[in-house]
Structure 1
């Protein structure tokens, strides 16, 4: 019997029409056992982050006003979808927000990461509650389930690590039997700690949730529904004439996500690869399009893929006494990066220096540089652009380097990374 997981992101349910479209896709899916992983409505996670920020800065009334706007926004969608039948749904939405309202009544005294997860996680609860109610309203036999009862994590708030063995046991024991009777609607991005506090799996973690659920139930496929026709060879925001990639190997999907491609979450592939479960990326806007299939076959990409990262900082780190950069130095340097939670996007080591490109997070970078300067000479350049090309050739390199000054160039067999600055900004 076919088992599948559908994951719908925030863009697919940005308004009442979005919920109707998703409802139609699910109703016509014709899959015997179907599990739905739902994200927060578009921009709601950002709005909840503003609630956290206001609360942290002791702007309690501002935080409460922001939360009230979020509540009314969801109430309006519920009313538009269910009309006079929406009273019980509105009660459920109100109940979902009670704990957040209680948090805002107390002083900000816990860690920011903990508070973040308790507040921001409600976005997925609200959205999935609306989706389940609407599906029942249009005659789809669904049951809503709280992902926090199944996805168990440590308490590394904002980027929690999943306890896979426990999560798999709970999904198989308590959730999988429900698929014989219902379409199950649950949430992405969220889990819970051993103390039953809400945790989040990192931004865009809903794809990862879908992969975890599908692996646990031994599903046949995962489909991630996007507002693009499939996986493209570049982000349309940064690149003209993008092309769809019809098939992609697990390895290339991992490489692309590692270097910063945003269509597939970096953690998503591994649980699927372990069991050979294919992943489809399809458009919720046009169901006639086949989308992209990610599978185990080692099929080289038919076209080069481009990943752009802007607002980069190049840090060049060297010993103060002009000695060699050795393993001890690298261990010390990486420990400081870990301390300040700064991720490396690319790096190059020479005898006398160690150069890295990182995202320009001003507070983190400034503190990191201060610590590094206690031990090393540090030079840095800001306002840079990092381009990663998978399956590059000379023509693709020439295409992205027009009117650019290359500060750092790293090439392997299949991948080229170029850290650049506009010539006119030198």
Structure 2
């Protein structure tokens, strides 16, 4: 049994959906295969924008119309027959989204409402894929991942109840997979009382790994628009190297530092059950790709990782006293309460600095929480550069023409924050 995960780029158009059908027919087969699909193209970004408008009581109708028109047009191109139930089902989902937006208001729990709205992207895409595969002789059953990936109510980054999720999946899904394909959604989970949760931005990889773990899959595949796991993002670097094979540990560390190919939480459940992960190109499915498994190498090519939209925040004690363990405890407690993750940190005698993803609302709440105790400065619109397994040449390459605001170096990893 295998798990295939298709990201937003692989379902962004009618041609992309047809390509998925080609991959499934030629490489996946007609059963013992579970397909996990992300929202189409940039739909999650569009839904985030819609949610912001609705939450702040601004007119969202134009943005809403644009979002649903995109999905209608792709569906019409794939399945022009008006009597196909896909059209009615999508209209039901569009109506549910509109109703959810209408009842979103500033008085509501922001993160909870975010999950209820943004989750519609995966519902749209998985519904279209389900009905389209039926039309090309690939029978499949659509399932609601929210009923199988059971989580707590830690909105926007829900924690999985692994034991209960595994029990539910093993109860229902093996019998279905013995007969046909299964299509489901990435990114989504559900609480015991029926609310939708999300697993963190770009969390569809993690969803696929949850299904693979709970169903004891033999392999998991992530289909991307690159030839495999590369040592650098082609958007930033002209020359890249593909890793034919790489260890779970190296991949976890690269994902932690911000490598965009794999979601950081994806590897652990696969490693725990020794399930190989293949990163393959949906543009060239016959190519070798990258195999991530339990292996070791003495030396591998340096990995260059860039995280955009970073914020550098510095805390100083107001009376010029040293930054003590008590001061650090106060800062860390506030960061934990606000769920602000540290990508890099450094302290001196009288200040403590962190680099984090910039989320304006949370940074402002952090400042409000701590302004009585600390002098706080912050810079935005920064980049965090990481070089994993660096050498002299790789550092000379990455540091050219960079203004370094903060840097750190360990035996294997070099990091710095720059404008």
**TM-score category by the smaller chain?**
over 0.9
Pair 254,67 (structure 1): closer, same or farther in 2 beyond 3 Å:
same
Instruction: Report the Cα offset of residue 105 of structure 1.
Output: 4.3
Instruction: Report the Cα offset of residue 185 of structure 1.
Output: 0.6
After TM superposition, the score normalised by the length of structure 1 is 0.92
Give me the whole-angstrom Cα distance separating, in 1, the residues matched to 2:347 and 2:109. 37
Unaligned 5+ segments in structure 1 are 422-426
Give me the whole-angstrom Cα distance separating, in 1, the residues matched to 2:195 and 2:33. 28
Q: Give the equivalent residue in structure 2 for 1:417.
A: 415
CA offset digits 1:13-55 (Å, max 9, x no partner): 1111110000111122244511100111111112222221221
Q: Give the equivalent residue in structure 1 for 2:272.
A: 274
User: Is it true that 1:66 corresponds to 2:63 in the alignment?
Assistant: yes
Give me the whole-angstrom Cα distance separating, in 2, the residues matched to 1:169 and 1:64. 42
| Aligned pairs (5 A) from 1:11-410 | 11-31=9-29, 32-59=31-58, 62-84=59-81, 87-106=84-103, 108=105, 109-300=107-298, 302-410=300-408
After TM superposition, the score normalised by the length of structure 2 is 0.93
Asked whether the equivalents of residues 245 and 301 of structure 1 are also in contact (C-alpha less than 8 Å), the reply is: no
CA offset digits 1:125-171 (Å, max 9, x no partner): 11111111111111112111111110111112221111111111101
Q: Give the equivalent residue in structure 2 for 1:424.
A: none
Pair 66,336 (structure 1): closer, same or farther in 2 beyond 3 Å:
same
Deviates more, 1:295-304 or 1:361-370: 361-370
CA offset digits 1:54-80 (Å, max 9, x no partner): 211223xx4344333333322222221
Asked whether the equivalents of residues 387 and 417 of structure 1 are also in contact (C-alpha less than 8 Å), the reply is: yes
Give me the whole-angstrom Cα distance separating, in 1, the residues matched to 2:409 and 2:213. 35
Unaligned 5+ segments in structure 2 are none
State the secondary structure of the residue aligned to 2:383.
strand
Give me the whole-angstrom Cα distance separating, in 1, the residues matched to 2:181 and 2:372. 58
Give me the whole-angstrom Cα distance separating, in 1, the residues matched to 2:324 and 2:264. 30
Instruction: Report the Cα offset of residue 121 of structure 1.
Output: 1.1
Deviates more, 1:209-218 or 1:354-363: 354-363
